[in-house]
Amino acid sequence: MISDIDCLKVGKPAPNFSATAVYDQEFLPIQLTEYLGKYVVLFFYPLDFTFVCPTEITAFSDQYERFKKINTEILGISVDSEYSHLAWLQTDRSAGGLGDLNYPLVSDLKKEISSSYNVLSDQGVALRGLFIIDKQGVIQHSVVNNLAFGRSVDETYRTLQAIQYVQSHPDEVCPADWQPGQKTLVPDPIKSKEYFTAI
């Protein structure tokens, strides 16, 4: 029998979920399928009121407009309740809180979402999993960090741009560290030489 975890792969549909989120000091029902037609950066973090987590969460919020301009929404998820999320949002950044964020924080108190994305740790909290989901609801990128170190917002943004480029240019592929405006490759034994002879 194939489990949901077996189906969680890049190139496969992202598991849908319904949950309560906190945004703009309010509790909101949220479903992943509401975001079809947009790209989604979905990231998990271990717990509210911890130490590495606010650095990531606020960094994504501070750069939210960059993501929004390229048709992308951001969702943060942890196993905390919506009440814990709200209290953390109402805590000033200078005191280890979040302040106002530009995107929702989702409550996964029953740990069902973390389980469906295979990021629930043995300690019962989510590892630092990050998934880029395309406009059709398909996972195009995933990365999972252990608990003690954070992720790069800039690298997430760069990867997202590469995904969007190859989806709009299906005859091209992006080399390592590709940035918009740089050369791409044609995945063909002969045509690819144009890239390699130019570097």
Show the tokens assigned to 34: 């509401």
- Please compute the mean of the pLDDT values over residues 154-171 and round it to a whole number: 98
Query: To the nearest whole number, what is the mean pLDDT of the chain?
Result: 95
Q: At a CB cut-off of 8 Å and minimum separation 6, what does 151 contact?
A: 43, 56, 128, 130, 143, 145
Whether the Cβ atoms of residue 6 and residue 38 lie closer than 8 Å to each other: no
Tell me the one-letter amino acid at 173: V
pLDDT of residue 6: 59
Residue 5 confidence class, pLDDT cut points 50, 70, 90: low
Q: Long-range contacts: 56-60, Cβ < 8 Å, 24+?
A: 56/128, 56/150, 56/151, 56/153, 57/98, 57/101, 57/105, 58/93, 58/98, 58/99, 58/101, 59/153, 60/103, 60/153
Query: Three-state SS across 100-113?
Result: CCCCCEEECCCCHH
pLDDT of residue 183: 94
pLDDT of residue 158: 98
Tell me the one-letter amino acid at 79: V
Verify whether residue 174 is a known catalytic residue. no
Is residue 2's pLDDT more than 50? no
Dist CA 42 CA 126 (whole Å): 13
Q: Number of H helices and number of E strands within the chain?
A: 7, 7
Is residue 3's pLDDT more than 80? no
pLDDT of residue 97: 94
Buried b (16+ CB within 10 A) or exposed e, 30-45: bebeebeeebbbbbbb
Domains within the chain, CATH numbers bracketed: 4-151 (3.40.30.10)
Residue 193 confidence class, pLDDT cut points 50, 70, 90: confident
- Please compute the mean of the pLDDT values over residues 185-197 and round it to a whole number: 89
The tens digit of pLDDT for each residue in 168-179 reads 999 999 999 999
Which of 53, 89, 98, 113 is an active site residue?
A: 53
Phi–psi pair at 159, nearest 5 degrees:
-65, -40
Is residue 147's pLDDT more than 70? yes
Buried b (16+ CB within 10 A) or exposed e, 171-186: eebbeeebeeeeebbe
| DSSP reduced 3-state for 144 | strand
Q: Where are the alpha helices (DSSP H) in 23-81?
A: 52-62, 64-69
The tens digit of pLDDT for each residue in 7-62 reads 799 999 999 999 999 999 999 999 999 999 999 999 999 999 999 999 999 999 99
pLDDT of residue 191: 86
The tens digit of pLDDT for each residue in 96-112 reads 999 999 999 999 999 99
Dist CA 132 CA 1 (whole Å): 27
